């Protein structure tokens, strides 16, 4: 009899418990929505010269970090460290310790980036050489003729005038005389080996796509911050004149 009374009591309380659970779930959902709203990135305020300079400094710092391979930096922690340092608050790591940690991190980050670029370049060139119209030379240079001219071919010591656009294999443009509307003039054997070889195969009026492996470009050093180590380069080159 006592067991029956307990069961009845539990059954009687169940609707109330169920209702409370629903309310709790609703409150949790509301809190999640509020948290998500707080986590949304705020639009930068650049309404005065100080805020504009602050935003500009952030652009420069972040661009340099990404260029050097620090693409896995925790932004929130970075902001806290900048705030604490700027406001003179106690630091978890002093400047000397921070320098050691950052140097080690950036070295490893650059190594990872170089390895990734090297592998991407290898895969790209292997795939690219099988595409229609792409020709390869013994050095590893690949090229595709876009249009043909009828002028003369330069020798290694000739000066030439060209229009070009240079890209990485991911499509990033790192230089373009065409976009500046300023053709470049130089001696054929005073540029990267891939260009020197390709230009001597071209004639005035030719427009080619060049696919230059890093061994014929900037190798393991890269160049100018924009071209990482071991990068394959893609150039659209138009030979305007042999001087």
Q: What is the chain's pLDDT, residue by residue, as a tens digit (243 residues)?
A: 454 444 444 444 445 445 576 777 777 777 777 777 666 667 778 888 888 888 888 888 887 777 666 667 888 888 899 889 989 999 999 989 999 998 898 888 888 888 888 999 999 999 999 999 999 999 999 999 999 998 999 999 999 999 999 999 999 999 999 889 999 999 999 999 999 999 999 999 999 999 999 999 999 888 877 898 999 999 999 999 998
29, part of any domain: no
Domain hosting residue 126, numbered range: 74-243
Residue at 8 is within a domain: no
Is 193 inside a domain boundary? yes
In a domain, 82, yes or no: yes
Structure pTM?
0.67
Residues with Cβ < 8 Å from 17, sequence gap 6 or more?
none
Q: Which long-range contacts (CB under 8 A, 24 or more apart) does 64-67 make?
A: 67/225, 67/226
Q: Look up residue 29 and give its DSSP letter.
A: H
What's 152's domain CATH number?
3.10.50.40
Domain count, the chain: 1
Q: Which stretches does DSSP call E strand in the chain?
A: 134-136, 142-147, 159-168, 173-176, 184-187, 207-212, 233-242
Q: What whole-number distance in Å separates Cα of residue 194 and Cα of residue 233? A: 10
* CA–CA distance, 123 with 203 (Å, rounded to integer): 30
Is 98 part of any domain?
yes
Which two three-digit tokens encode residue 62? 């972040």
Residues annotated catalytic, as ranges: 164, 174-175, 192, 218, 235
SS3 212: strand
Q: Compute the distance between CA of residue 215 and CA of residue 194 in angstroms, rounded to an integer.
A: 9
Residue 1 lies in a domain: no
């Amino acid at each position: 009899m006592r067991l029956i009374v307990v069961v009845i009591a539990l059954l009687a309380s169940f609707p109330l418990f169920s209702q409370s659970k629903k309310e709790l779930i609703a409150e949790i959902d509301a809190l999640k929505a509020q948290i998500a709203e707080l986590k949304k990135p705020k639009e930068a305020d650049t309404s005065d010269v100080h805020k504009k300079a602050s935003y500009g400094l952030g652009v420069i710092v972040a661009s340099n970090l990404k260029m050097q391979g620090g693409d896995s930096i925790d932004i929130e922690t970075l902001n806290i460290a900048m705030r604490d340092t700027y406001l003179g608050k106690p630091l978890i790591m002093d400047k000397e310790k921070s320098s050691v940690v950052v140097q080690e991190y950036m070295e490893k980050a650059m190594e990872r980036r170089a390895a990734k670029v090297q592998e991407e370049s290898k895969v790209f060139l292997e795939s690219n050489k099988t595409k229609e119209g792409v020709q390869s030379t013994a050095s590893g240079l690949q090229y595709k003729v876009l249009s043909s001219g009828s002028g003369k071919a330069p020798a290694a010591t000739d000066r030439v005038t060209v229009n070009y656009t240079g890209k990485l294999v991911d499509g990033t443009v790192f230089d373009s005389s065409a976009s500046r509307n300023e053709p470049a003039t130089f001696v054929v054997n005073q540029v990267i080996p891939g260009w020197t070889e390709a230009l001597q195969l071209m004639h005035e009026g030719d427009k080619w796509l060049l696919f230059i492996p890093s061994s014929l470009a900037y190798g393991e050093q890269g160049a100018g911050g924009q071209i990482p180590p071991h990068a394959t380069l893609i150039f659209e080159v138009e030979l305007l004149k042999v001087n």
